[in-house]
Amino acid sequence: MAARTLFEKIWNGHIVAELGEGADLLYIDRIFLHERTGAIALKGLTEKNRPLRHPENIFCTIDHIVDTFPGRTDETQVPGGKEFIQTTRKSALSAGITLFDIDDPGHGIVHVISPEQGIVLPGLTLICPDSHTCSQGAFGALAFGVGSTEVEHAMATSTLRLERPRTMQVLFEGELRKNVTAKDMILFLIGQYTAIGGSGYAVEFCGEAVTNLNMEARITLCNMAVEFGAFTGMIAPDEKTYAYLEGRSYAPKGEHWHKALKDWQGLKSDDKAIFDKRITIAAEDISPMITWGTNPGQAMAIDARVPDPVKMNDKHNRAAAEKALNYMDISPGTKLTNLVISGAFIGSCTNSRLSDLRRAGRILKGRKVADGVRAICVPGSQRVKQEAEAEGLDKIFKNAGFEWRESGCSLCFYAGGESFGFQERVVTSTNRNFESRQGPATRSHLASPETVAASAILGRIAGPDDLNSLNGVMGRNDIAKPNDREGQ
């Protein structure tokens, strides 16, 4: 048998029928919904009187529109949000699918709770009407976002017509430097190869720097594969993957677990597997990163200077850079570390897990958020929130001046509800910095949770190293546990 990539092994193992012209009918193992699009898909099936083929393999959470304020209810600041929430709840219960409702201890952002529950597993196909479903490829699954019509078809048939993407290997060689995280790795990749560099590809991340990451950091890396333009991002499962999943609610148990392990151990690209494209990055070349523009590809090392569009050869890149700099109110040659901020946000499906909060807490402990900065932390799930509170992380955040919230997507995106205000400058651990992404004309800079925390303390864009001149010691082991350090 010819050598195959991880992607090819999973894709080929799920083909129901070859449809020709590069398209296949694929079997879909698990489906996840949320209230922003799930209600539409469920309603569509009800109106057409089509039953769900495998309701036991369909899951739903209420994460996108729900408020994250303490004591929340179905009421939300998003126009029409209450109706979306209540319609989704009614439809999910009527359809007999698993619902992680607002008051459920398993509630949270879809791409946080799916791994927590063991819903995503190596070798599975998993879809959700959400572009960041690729996050779950960190478990050696084929996970990708779809539209409402596609998820409706999959719920009714457990299949989906798909055109096979090409394959790309992104190899991160060597070890990361101090204070460099998975978020910096993906921003570096996108900054070097643009926000469309992965278009049409299923990307497999590998190399020593990737292997050294813990599972939560791997999720961060795969999360922004879509910001690279990729169909999905994947990482081959290993002992860290198995240890994370063992004992989770929906993971196999007993003899089924041992059988699954045997199958999973073959889920890796063969040594002689051929990729359509390969990219190699030296991990030591990556610094703490931050975006300067309005797409994730407009990123640079935090201590660098903003590029000059005049020096860009491609006219489209030049025009996009000029437009972005005008929106962000930044001049070419500027050092971003000179820019004052008014907002700091830690959360989203990219960076809201326990290890993210531990690392930010390590920086915040004993320090205060600068005057004039509104700082918010939104745990990715109720489980993350409860575990963080058990460790006292909530007190560290609140004592520093951060708001401590309930789980949800929150200020990752602006849907007409809560926002950071007009033209406010925000450092954020989210995944998108599009115009008005976090509020009307809000200027968002993407970065790691460490950089968000450091910026909140200094009141300006700053990296963790910029805090060395302040009182206190960086890297306190009383907060960070060894297995939470992202390859450092």
Q: What is the pLDDT of residue 476?
A: 30
Q: Are residues 44 and 160 in the same domain?
A: yes
Token readout for 307 is 């590029």
> Could you say which of 270, 287, 304 is where a domain stops?
287
> Could you say which of 254, 287, 320 is where a domain stops?
287
**pLDDT tens-place string over residues 344-388:** 999 999 999 999 999 999 999 999 999 999 999 999 999 999 999
Q: Are residues 101 and 208 in the same domain?
A: yes
Contact 201, 231 (CB under 8 A): yes
Q: How far is the C-alpha of 383 from the C-alpha of 467, rounded, in Å? A: 31
Q: Are residues 437 and 408 in the same domain?
A: yes
Q: Are residues 279 and 204 in the same domain?
A: yes
Q: Are residues 195 and 336 in the same domain?
A: no
Q: What is the pLDDT of residue 486?
A: 38
Q: Is 258 left (phi over 0), alpha (psi -120 to 50) or beta?
A: alpha
Q: Are residues 262 and 322 in the same domain?
A: no
Q: How large is the C-alpha radius of gyration of the chain?
A: 22
**Could you tell me the residue range of the domain that residue 37 belongs to?**
1-287
Q: What is the pLDDT of residue 470?
A: 64
Q: Are residues 279 and 296 in the same domain?
A: no
Report if pTM > 0.85: yes
Contact 42, 240 (CB under 8 A): no
Query: 62: which DSSP letter?
Result: -
- Per-residue pLDDT at 481 exceeds 70: no
- Per-residue pLDDT at 473 exceeds 60: no
Helix or strand or coil: residue 14?
coil
Q: What is the pLDDT of residue 338?
A: 87
- Per-residue pLDDT at 482 exceeds 80: no
Q: Are residues 300 and 265 in the same domain?
A: no
> Could you say which of 224, 253, 287 is where a domain stops?
287
Mean pLDDT of the chain: 94
Q: Are residues 266 and 135 in the same domain?
A: yes
- Per-residue pLDDT at 480 exceeds 70: no
- Per-residue pLDDT at 424 exceeds 70: yes
Q: Are residues 106 and 229 in the same domain?
A: yes
Chain position carrying tokens 């795969």: 222
**pLDDT tens-place string over residues 76-129:** 999 999 999 999 999 999 999 999 999 999 999 999 999 999 999 999 999 999
Provide the pLDDT confidence category of residue 469 given band limits of 50, 70 and 90: low
Q: What is the pLDDT of residue 477?
A: 30
Q: What is the pLDDT of residue 40?
A: 84
Calculate the dihedral angle through the C-alpha atoms of 350, 410, 196, 198, rounding to the nearest 10 degrees: 30
Provide the pLDDT confidence category of residue 46 given band limits of 50, 70 and 90: confident
Chain position carrying tokens 């949320």: 34
Chain position carrying tokens 């290993």: 238
Q: How far is the C-alpha of 236 from the C-alpha of 395, rounded, in Å? A: 37
- Per-residue pLDDT at 320 exceeds 80: yes
The backbone torsions φ and ψ at residue 383, rounded to the nearest 5 degrees and listed phi first, read: -65, -45
CATH of residue 150: 3.30.499.10
Q: Are residues 263 and 321 in the same domain?
A: no
Q: What is the mean pLDDT of residues 156-179?
A: 98
Sort 26 into a burial class: Cβ within 10 Å, 0-12 / 13-18 / 19+.
buried
Calculate the dihedral angle through the C-alpha atoms of 21, 22, 24, 29, rounding to the nearest 10 degrees: -160
Q: What is the mean pLDDT of residues 142-152?
A: 95
Q: Are residues 277 and 309 in the same domain?
A: no
Contact 487, 213 (CB under 8 A): yes
Alpha helices in 331-436 (DSSP H): 354-364, 382-390, 393-400
Number of domains within the chain: 2
CB neighbours (10 Å) of residue 156?
16
Strand partners, 23: 20, 163
